[in-house]
Amino acid sequence: MTQNDAHTPSNAGPSNAEGAPPHTSVMTAEVLEYLSVRPGGRYIDCTTGAGGHSAAILDASAPSGTLLANDADPAALAIARERLAGYGDRVRFSERYFDEIADVAGGADFVPVDGLLCDLGVSSMQLDTPDRGFSFRESGPLDMRMSPKADLTAAEIVNEYEEGDLADLLYQLGDEWRSRRIARQIVARRPLATTTDLAKAVEQAAGKGRKASTSSRVHPATKTFLALRMAVNQELRRLGDFLALARSLLGFGSRLVIISFHSMEDRIVKHFLREASHGEAPAYEVLTRKVVRPSTAEVERNPRCRSARLRAAEAR
């Protein structure tokens, strides 16, 4: 899932300006530092996206370091394949969700590794492609799937879920305090076919006095779209499964780095690492006692990275 280029959890940011690079990897220097990338090392980028972090890891591990570049999104993986083609057989590719990486690595005899990177969220190229349905800035189908192989779409949730179940989903995954009002409005407007149909329903539920303009920092539909995307892609469940298996892929002293963009995801990572670093036989030593955030300079260059949070640990 999730991809490592100019992520945002909100869908609220505008498209990149004309002439700007379409994909900007988040906190690349920090990723290399906490992964402790070394020449000849073996690494997995569990959510390679357009390959920004992957390229940086391959450069830092030259001349003989190797990388498994994985992503659930075939469109992103196609870009990564082209971007990383010059690294030859130092890089391998797989198209799976990040919580399935143990099967991929085991099947490729790519265990143990010196570092695992998992960058959660959604990328600029996904947000800025209306047909993917992740954003309400332009009209598109209510899809939101990271992988086209997945069955559940946002349209199914929006048009088929019971009102109460829909309200609970928006509240639990999006922290949307207007969830019941929004769910009621969605049900009243069914069937909803496009992202703009959904955004208008949320705006109506929020009230005319609270309707945001396109220049507002946070659009009233932001949390609804976030909650639906997380539900469609089972993001919290996948994160929990990934954390449970990550240690099995790491050698002693190897590193785990996770970048999240949502407080709920970051809280899951924080609590997991805290628990896994205690006891008589701890699995990890936590390297980030405080969460690491992008520098002011990076946020100025790439506002979409402002909510990024990095946590890292070393396998024991």
Q: Among candidates 94, 93, 74, which has minimal Cα distance to 85?
A: 93
Measure the CA–CA gap between 259 and 251, rounded to whole angstroms.
21
**Residue 163 counted as domain residue:** yes
Reduced DSSP (H G I as helix, E B as strand, rest coil) percent helix, strand, coil of the chain, to 5: 45, 15, 40
Q: What is the pLDDT of residue 127?
A: 83
Give the CATH number for residue 59.
3.40.50.150
Measure the CA–CA gap between 238 and 15, rounded to whole angstroms.
28
Digits of tens for pLDDT over the chain (316 positions)?
Answer: 443 434 433 333 333 333 333 557 899 999 999 999 999 999 999 999 999 999 999 999 999 999 999 999 999 999 999 999 999 999 999 999 999 999 999 999 999 999 999 999 787 788 889 999 999 989 999 999 999 999 999 999 999 999 999 999 999 999 999 999 999 999 999 999 999 999 999 999 987 444 444 444 689 999 999 999 999 999 999 999 999 999 999 999 999 999 999 999 999 999 999 999 999 999 999 999 999 999 999 999 999 899 999 999 999 9
Domain ends where: 201, 217, 232? Answer: 232
Q: Pull the structure tokens for residue 159.
A: 């048009």
Q: What is the pLDDT of residue 207?
A: 78
Q: What is the pLDDT of residue 304?
A: 84
Q: What is the pLDDT of residue 50?
A: 93
Where in 175-232 does DSSP place strands (E)? none
- 221 and 239 belong to one structural domain: no
- 188 and 109 belong to one structural domain: no
Note down the domain range covering 35: 28-124+235-315
* DSSP designation for 137: S
54 to each of 23, 116, 152, 173, how far by Cα in Å? 13, 11, 29, 29
**Residue 135 counted as domain residue:** no
- Taking the alpha carbons at both ends of the chain, their separation in whole angstroms is 27
Sequence-distant (6+) residues with CB within 8 A of 88 are none
Q: What is the pLDDT of residue 24?
A: 76
DSSP string across 28-97:
HHHHHHHHT--TT-EEEETT-TTSHHHHHHHHHTTTT-EEEEE-S-HHHHHHHHHHTGGGGGGEEEE-S-
Q: What is the pLDDT of residue 14?
A: 32
Provide the sign of the torsion angle of the four alpha carbons 146, 302, 28, 86, taken in this order: positive
Number of structural domains, the chain? 2
- 110 and 32 belong to one structural domain: yes
Angle at the Cα of 313 from the Cα atoms of 113 and 45, rounded to 5 degrees: 40
**Residue 133 counted as domain residue:** no
**Residue 294 counted as domain residue:** yes
- 196 and 248 belong to one structural domain: no
